[in-house]
Amino acid sequence: MIPAAVAGLVYLLAPVLMPFVIGALLAYLADPLADRLEAWKLGRTTAVVIVFGLLLLLLIVVLLIVIPALERQVSRFLADLPRYLGWIRDTLIPWLEARLGIDLAEYDPRAVVELLQQDWQRAGGIAAAVAGSLTRSGAVILGWLMNALLIPVVTFYLLRDWDRLVAGVAGLLPRRTLPTAARLAREADEVLGVFLRGQLSVMVALGVIYSVGLALVGLNTAMVIGMIAGIISFIPYLGTFVGVVLGVLAALVQFHDLWHAGLVLAVFGVGQLLEGMILTPLLVGDRIGLNPVTVIFAVMAGGQLFGFLGVLLALPAASVIMVLLRHAHELYKASAWYA
């Protein structure tokens, strides 16, 4: 009854909860760094200010460097899209038909190209698309500005008072349940913290490795392909598969030879070796326990039920549920009924 009431309340308050959930996630991710700075004899507020400065610097770098570069490459990709689709129609499909002995349906790639290019030009790029959606009504602008202003405020105060809030919650628990609750909280924090911080670091590292490697190969869309492969790399081998398909296709269309396609394969092979031998063991380890299928289902179910807020809450909820199920399994195996 209580979980259903909480889920209904979250559903009703989803638009209001968004900045608070984002702020709580940011505070949770930044708390270990603030604790480490605090251990160097800095005050909690000073440590939080330093962490905020680092986050602001990272945001400025993303806004000034990464996003414009991505926008340029997306525009270039759309401009080259007729070549990609023409190569598929004139080269790949005849080759597949000859090898497989089947007739693939005829299609006209020009309609796809015109649709994508018209939408991109109408939006005027990433920044213009966001600005266009915001200027449709004053309420949308006001809501967006309020959320944008609330997120850093909520993050700052939650991060500053994080240890106090955790201690307050622990103080409300019945004393007889405190040891068990503390153990479950530590396990959930370990699983969630390792996954969010470690996997996010692996995703960023792989995105940079793939982007730099493909840029050295000479691909015009190196950053776009590399970042796509890095972002979806939290699902084993999916990021590599998508990156290889897109990279090899781009290399064949751009250079018309197998040498550059082989270099693309080498880039993703090196990325896989670095991920398996260095990045994942160092940043993630083997303590997560979240199966990739569980991650996919949790994200999709959260998005279906609560929209973007559900996507944000999916992994924390899945981690807590997994820890609780593990504890229930231990109790069941130790029970007289099982014996």
Encode pLDDT of 227-282 as tens digits: 889 988 877 677 889 899 888 888 888 887 889 889 999 999 999 898 888 887 77
Place 326 in a pLDDT band, splitting at 50, 70 and 90: confident
Q: Which residue has tokens 């190196």?
A: 222
Of 41, 44, 19, nearest to 30 (Cα)?
A: 44
The predicted-structure confidence for 37-57, as pLDDT tens digits, reads as follows 888 878 888 988 998 888 888
> 292-297 long-range CB contacts below 8 Å, 24 or more apart?
292/234, 292/235, 292/236, 294/318, 294/322, 295/234, 295/235, 296/235
The predicted-structure confidence for 120-148, as pLDDT tens digits, reads as follows 455 455 445 445 544 444 555 666 677 77
Q: What's the rounded Cα separation, in Å, for the pair 242 and 260?
A: 17
Q: Where do the H-state alpha helices sit in the chain? A: 2-12, 14-39, 44-61, 67-87, 93-100, 109-123, 125-134, 138-160, 162-172, 178-193, 200-217, 222-231, 238-255, 258-274, 292-306, 308-333
Cβ pair 31, 161 in contact under 8 A: no
Q: What's the rounded Cα separation, in Å, for the pair 90 and 73?
A: 25
Q: Which residue has tokens 């693939």?
A: 104
The chain-wide mean pLDDT, for the chain, equals 78
Q: What's the rounded Cα separation, in Å, for the pair 284 and 270?
A: 19
Q: What's the rounded Cα separation, in Å, for the pair 228 and 241?
A: 11
What pLDDT is stored for residue 121 in this prediction?
53
- Would the pTM count as exceeding 0.75? no
What pLDDT is stored for residue 20 in this prediction?
86
Q: What's the rounded Cα separation, in Å, for the pair 92 and 84?
A: 10
Residue 52 backbone dihedrals phi, psi, to 5 degrees: -65, -40
Cβ pair 267, 210 in contact under 8 A: yes
Distance (Å) of CA 134 to CA 60, 144, 219: 21, 8, 34
